[in-house]
Structure 1
Amino acid sequence: MSSTRAERRALAKSGIPRAEDLSQPYPKRLLKRPLFWLSVVMLVVYATLLVLLYRQVVPDQQVPGGRVVGLGTEAIPIAAKYAALTVIPLTVAFLWADRFRPQRFWVWLMTFGWGACVATFVSAQINTWAAGHLSIVGDGDPATGPRAAIYVAPFVEEASKATVLFWLAILMRYQWVSRLTGIVLAGLSGAAFAFVENILYYGRAYRYAAQTFGEVSPMEALQALAFQRGLLTFFGHPLFTAMTGIGLAIALRSKSKVVRVVAPLAGYCCAALLHMLFNTTASLAEGSMLLIIYFGVALPLVALLVVFIVRQEFREGRLIRERLIDYVRVGWLPADDPARLSRLRTRFKALWHAVFLGPATFLATIRMQRAATELAYLRDAMARGLIDQAGLAREKALLATIRTVRPAAVIAPVGRAAYPRLRRRAQQAAPAFPPPTYPGPAGIGGYYPAPNYPGQNPPAPTAPGGVPVAGLAPLGQTATQYSTVDPNWKPPEG
């Protein structure tokens, strides 16, 4: 077996990506990526499941013995607008948290699409089937209504949302460098699931209010439900799925086989338990008890997750700085790089300065920051024993990338960015005056100063070559010149 084949097998075993051949055009390199074709296939699957879910819940369905009223085409656009008010801020917040080692766009897209299309479709089928069986067993007892929401939905929905996390962990375990990665991807899947679920709930409330005669209009019913689900309890699904993401991230960054098995299972069980408690409270608790659980349990859990994310941001910055210092000690990086490349504020300021210096500088700055971050996490994985000698080749490639892009990248931004200046309108030039002469034309003053006048006494100084020096004409009595007097002149006679 050749060394090249052995190296490829070692890289594949560790999950380390191979360096691309940049000499080839980008479309050709894109078509050779397996993840690109996987993304195309998954997008087709997402679209298919979304259409099937639409046909299942939107139009009215004829069933034996009657008709099941659907959501209707009128309610879907209105419900989608209100559901977007929740999912957009959540998505931006999770992407903002993933700043040290942001994932590729296709990873975010696949995760969001899975939660919105696959997880919702699978959960709708299983939950509907389970609710029907539990209702039949209960002989129509109203107490059997919450059973599916309490005992079935938490496990089904958390499993369907978290499945994409396990697939991504298998395909790109090298990119799972921190617990922030698990929280961000899990949060995106949970937010997308909540987005589609809210559309179904809002549309159902709108259609029900439109078909019943009461004091509440369809818009008022939709807005009341949107206030409860979209504002008061918007954190539900992202919070639950984040537990699975944290457990999976712990497993991927641990060398222990026991931790690699137990941590994801513990995270999933924690997510299902929180989901079960949430559904139980929403189904059974009322009045003051509901307020106590909301303010005493739910909001503190959200606050703890936010504090955990903020602490992880600082922790990742320290990790990058400490690992890059290892390369400073051996002379492979300048002494100032660890501090500059581990501070989010400095990194963002460098990108902001690079924006106004041209596309080449901006791309070089992005490549510089990504290469330095990946180098730090690679060093940490090698120190933990997660990656063997196969990481040395990737380490050399990252160091070569840093040396190549450093001259064009912005690393230590100083002062203000090079903002483009608005061009002022050119002012109209003043009209040109004729050159000064001595003693000048008729009138007071004439043109002063003036060059030398022939015959003046004393003569004005001249420059080399005999050229009169302007502005040095004589002043006073010597400057006065009189015309010749005609002695025969006399006043005209009467």
Structure 2
Amino acid sequence: MASYPGCPPPQDHAPGTQPTGAVPHPRWWERKGVRVTALATLLAVSGAVILALVREQTGTEGFLVGLGLAVLPVPLLISAFRWLDRVQPGPWRNLLFSFAWGACAAALIAIVANSFATRWIETATADPTGADTLGATVIAPVVEESAKAAAVLLVFLFRRRDFTGIVDGVVIAGVTATGFAFTENILYLGNAFGTDQLTGTGPGLTSVTAATFFVRIVMSPFAHPLFTVLTGIGFGVAAVIAPDRGRARRVLLPLAGLLAAMGMHAFWNGSSSFGEYGFFAVYAAFMVPAFGLLTWLAVYVRHRELRTVRAELSAYVVAGWLAPPDPFALGSLKARRLAREYAAYYGGKEAEAAVTEYEAYATSLALLRHRGRKGRAGADFVVRERELLEALWERRHHARPALAYASQVAAPMWRPPVYAGPMPHVPAYNPYRY
């Protein structure tokens, strides 16, 4: 039977039955709201339990001192990871989840599992010193890195659109480890303060609290993020592999990153057994170079993303979706900032928000197209591309003047290049649709 414009299509199923090909309704435990509520409840319960455990071990006064000192590096580390994520900023909800998981769930798992394993080894071997050493160098790295990696895995599985490459893996892993280190530092600093109280040592450079603060907050606030970032890199590399290709690599790469994180963590924890100056030798010869190398890698990948944005968006200029200055401006962090400032000055907060969203959607579009050209995009490539293009089109009135101004200020002699590359599929621009 034929159908006519404005009329519903004929039904090919009996009344009251589900049509052929219809998507079944998700069961109650598969609904997004149920999963979010369950996860929030888990984190809240974990936070309450870890708070009680840490306070029990340190005392109220020690807990407050530890909390005040442990919070100092957190804004710096979070700001560093957000700076790294400026090209394609991930949503705040992912960062909040990652930090909460590290500070609550991962810390609780670590405290319970490490204590249980150390006591079991001590009971089995009757050697308390050996049990502590084995627990710090073998048990703790495995338990702690696995607990932190769980947050990266959850974002990778359930927030797949927000997890597209190495930078996303580094940011999620680093923020998770920052939350974990925050809780761990409260415990260590609170216990150090309690030791000073018992020995009658006043506040000063010779106190245990000052020594602990120097080692954990001044010298090595990046230690836990550095370990877990290796896991994030493994997931980030796996994210750029096509879903229907290299399935073994998509599993083995995160595992390899996790094993590397465990190995580095164990080496760091074992440095105290390398002699009087073992800790400082490992710090200077291993930790600092590794930190510098991973920082360089992350910054390099970020600049490569900017080059990709500039190159991939040119095809959409030819198709009429974007203005000629857009690819250059969107491929420069300086031009992006100038565009937001221009929009805020002439259009207010609404215009600034529109330009910020335009930059984010355009970056997602460029990286999506890059993956599509290499055969790494998912089955929803065409749908996702259309969504991003329509989101850009809705914000063009605020974004185009701002980006045109920014491109001229950032590079006054710049002229739009002529796109001469191949023209794979680009949705046709239809002005009458809008």
Q: Would you say same fold, with TM above 0.5?
A: yes
Letter in 1 for 2:291: V
Report whether the alignment pairs 1:286 with 2:275.
Answer: yes
- Equivalents in 2 of 1:140, 1:246: separation in Å? 38
Q: Is the 8 A contact 1:346 1:412 kept in 2?
A: no
Matching of residue 208 in structure 1 with residue 198 in structure 2: no
- Relative to the length of structure 1, the TM-score reads 0.72
Is the counterpart of residue 146 in structure 1 residue 136 in structure 2? no
| Equivalent in the alignment of 2:40 | 43
- TM-superposed CA distance for 1:136, in Å, is 1.8
1:286 partner SS: coil
Query: Which of 247, 261, 265 lines up with 1:271 in the alignment?
Result: 261
* Partner of residue 115, structure 1: 102
Shift of 1:34: 6.2
CA contact (8 A) 2:196 2:208 kept: yes
Between structure 1 and structure 2, the one with the greater Rg is: 1
Deviation at 1:214, TM superposition (A): 5.4
The letter of the residue matching 2:219 is L
What does 1:377-416 correspond to in 2, within 5 Å?
A: 377-387=367-377, 390-409=380-399, 410-413=402-405
Normalised by the length of structure 2, the TM-score is 0.82
CA deviations on 1:175-220 (whole Å, 9 max, x unpaired) are 2122110000000000100000000000011112212345877993
Structure 1 position 365 matched with structure 2 position 355: yes
Q: What SS class does the counterpart of residue 248 from structure 2 fall into? A: helix
Alpha-carbon offset, residue 390 of structure 1: 3.0
- CA apart distance, 1:92: 1.1
Cα gap change, 1:400 to 1:253, in 2 (>3 Å)? same
Judging changes above 3 Å, is the alpha-carbon distance between structure 1 residues 87 and 342 closer, same or farther for their aligned structure 2 residues?
A: same
Encode CA deviations 1:413-447: one digit per residue, 9 max, x unaligned: 3599xxxxxxxxxxxxxxxxxxxxxxxxxxxxxxx
Aligned equivalent of 1:252, options 226, 239, 243 = 239
CA contact (8 A) 2:371 2:377 kept: yes
Q: Is the 8 A contact 1:127 1:148 kept in 2?
A: yes
Contact kept? 2:201, 2:207, Cα under 8 Å: no
Q: CA RMSD in A?
A: 2.6
Once residues 116 and 215 of structure 1 are traced to their aligned partners in structure 2, the CA distance between those partners, rounded to angstroms, is: 30
Opposite residue 220 of structure 1, the aligned amino acid is S
1:298 aligned to 2:287?
yes
Which of 50, 55, 64 aligns to 1:53? It is 50
Q: Distance in 2 between matches of 1:55 and 1:334?
A: 57
**2:103 alignment partner AA:** A
Where in structure 2 are the equivalents of 1:68-467 lying within 5 Å?
Answer: 70-213=57-200, 220-255=207-242, 256-282=246-272, 284-356=273-345, 357-387=347-377, 390-409=380-399, 410-413=402-405
Shift of 1:318: 0.8
Q: Which amino acid aligns with 2:53?
A: Q
**Number of corresponding residues:** 381
More helix by share: 2
Paired residue type of 2:288: L
Return the offset for 1:76: 1.1
SS state at 2:59 partner = coil
Q: Evaluate the alpha carbon distance shift between residue 408 and residue 138 of structure 1 in structure 2; reply closer, same or farther with a 3 A threshold.
A: same
Change (3 A) 1:354 1:143: same
Alpha carbons 1:39, 1:106 under 8 Å: kept: no
Offset, 1:328: 2.7
Contact residue 65 and residue 193 of structure 2 kept, 8 A: no
In 2: Cα distance, 1:76 partner to 1:6 partner = 61
Closer/same/farther in 2, CA of residues 8 and 411 from structure 1, 3 Å limit = farther
d(CA) in 2 for partners of 1:334, 1:217:
62
Preserved CA contact (<8 Å) 1:209 1:217: no
Equivalents in 2 of 1:98, 1:176: separation in Å?
Answer: 12
Structure 1 residue 335: deviation in Å? 2.6
Equivalent residue, structure 2, for 1:488: none
218 and 135 in structure 1: CA distance in 2 versus 1, 3 angstrom threshold: farther
| Alpha-carbon shift at residue 6 of structure 1 (Å) | 11
C-alpha deviation, 1:40, in angstroms? 4.5
Cα offsets for 1:309-353 (capped at 9, x unmatched): 111111110111111122234443233211111111111221122
Provide the C-alpha distance between the structure 2 equivalents of 1:346 and 1:7, rounded to a whole number of angstroms.
48
Cα distance between partner residues in 2 of 1:390 and 1:72: 53
CA-CA distance at 1:39 after TM superposition = 4.2
Q: Once the 2 structures are TM-superposed, how far is the Cα of residue 38 of structure 1 from its aligned partner?
A: 4.3
1:36 CA displacement:
6.3
Structure 1 range deviating more: 152-161 or 335-344: 335-344
Measure the CA separation in 1 of the matches of 2:51 and 2:304.
44
User: Do the aligned partners of 2:204 and 2:210 also contact (CA within 8 Å) in 1?
Assistant: no
Shift of 1:295: 0.9
Q: Does the 8 Å contact 1:46/1:118 carry over to 2?
A: yes
Q: 1:74 to 1:289 in 2, by over 3 A?
A: closer
Gaps spanning 5+ residues in structure 2: where? Answer: 1-10, 13-18, 410-434
Q: Note the alpha carbon deviations across 1:375-409, whole angstroms, 9 max, x for none.
A: 11221222222335632232223222222211122
1:17-54 alpha-carbon deviations (Å, 9 max, x no partner): xxxxxxxxxxxxxxxx9656644543332222122123
